[in-house]
């Protein structure tokens, strides 16, 4: 998938939004970039203090259960961050599928937006290129945080106009 066509990351006003960031721990350098990008967007949007929670889990396989916990606990949005790098066995496919299907299930079942910041890469260089680190071409942690807050605000505005959501 190409990053071409991604929307501009405009500054958000998330002053009363509660956000949980759930982050895996494999591939720590890349994870550091993803986390920094996500936290920068959230801080810029005013999501700070008690309205921002960050939880680390072991691997991307554990992201859905953590996301589900926060989605059901009244958070307005969840940002899921992870890095899965292809190895020599089919394990890659199972972890990617578990994370993707699991996070999709969480967001659809709860009606809480989940920003999908899970990199699924053939090698470490692809992950570094997308990690928001110095020299990276893309910043997927920032994009995931921006998407989660933008969607939470859009759903709130829609509810205010009479469109009911799964949580109403
Ligand atoms: C086992 C495993 C492997 C091989 N690779 C990754 C990876 O590249 N990225 C990641 O986030 N997690 C990986 N894991 C760990 C699994 O996600 C999970 O934590 C373990 O299977 C324990 O449930």
Residue 11 in any domain: the answer is no
Q: Is the pLDDT reported for residue 84 higher than 60?
A: yes
Residue 60 in any domain: the answer is yes
Residue 143 in any domain: the answer is yes
Polymer length of the chain:
168
Residue 2 in any domain: the answer is no
Residues of the domain holding 121:
27-149
Helix 28-44 and helix 140-160: axis angle, to 10°? Answer: 40
Model pTM score: 0.94
Residue closest by Cα to atom 20 of ligand 1: 59
- Report how many domains make up the chain: 1
Q: Is the CB of 82 under 6 A from ligand 1?
A: yes
Residue 13 in any domain: the answer is no
End-to-end CA distance of the chain: 34
Please report the atom of ligand 1 found closest to the CA of residue 82. 11
Task: Read off the CATH number of the domain in which 74 is found.
Answer: 3.40.50.960
Q: Is the CB of 137 under 6 A from ligand 1?
A: no
If phi over 0 gives left and psi between -120 and 50 gives alpha, with beta otherwise, what is residue 4? beta
Residue closest by Cα to atom 5 of ligand 1: 84
pLDDT, one tens digit per residue, over 24-71 is 999 999 999 999 999 999 999 999 999 999 999 999 999 999 999 999
Residue 71 in any domain: the answer is yes
Residue closest by Cα to atom 13 of ligand 1: 59
Residue 43 in any domain: the answer is yes
Q: Which residues are catalytic?
A: 91
What's residue 2's pLDDT? 72
Residue 159 in any domain: the answer is no
pLDDT, one tens digit per residue, over 68-83 is 999 999 999 999 999 9
């Amino acid at each position: 998938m190409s990053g071409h066509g991604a929307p501009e990351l405009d500054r958000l006003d998330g002053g009363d939004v509660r956000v949980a960031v759930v982050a895996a721990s494999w591939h720590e350098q890349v994870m550091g970039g993803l986390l920094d990008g996500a936290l920068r967007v959230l801080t810029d949007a005013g999501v700070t203090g008690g309205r921002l929670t960050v939880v680390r889990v072991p691997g991307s396989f554990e992201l859905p259960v953590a996301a589900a916990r926060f989605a059901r606990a009244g958070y307005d949005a969840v940002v899921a961050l992870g890095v899965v790098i292809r190895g020599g066995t089919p394990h890659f496919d199972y972890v990617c599928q578990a994370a993707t299907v699991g996070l999709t299930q969480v967001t659809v079942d709860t009606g809480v937006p989940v920003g999908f910041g899970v990199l699924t890469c053939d090698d470490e260089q692809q992950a570094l290129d997308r990690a928001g680190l110095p020299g990276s071409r893309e910043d997927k942690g920032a994009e995931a945080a921006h998407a989660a807050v933008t969607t939470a605000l859009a759903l709130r505005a829609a509810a205010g106009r009479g469109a009911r959501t799964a949580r109403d």
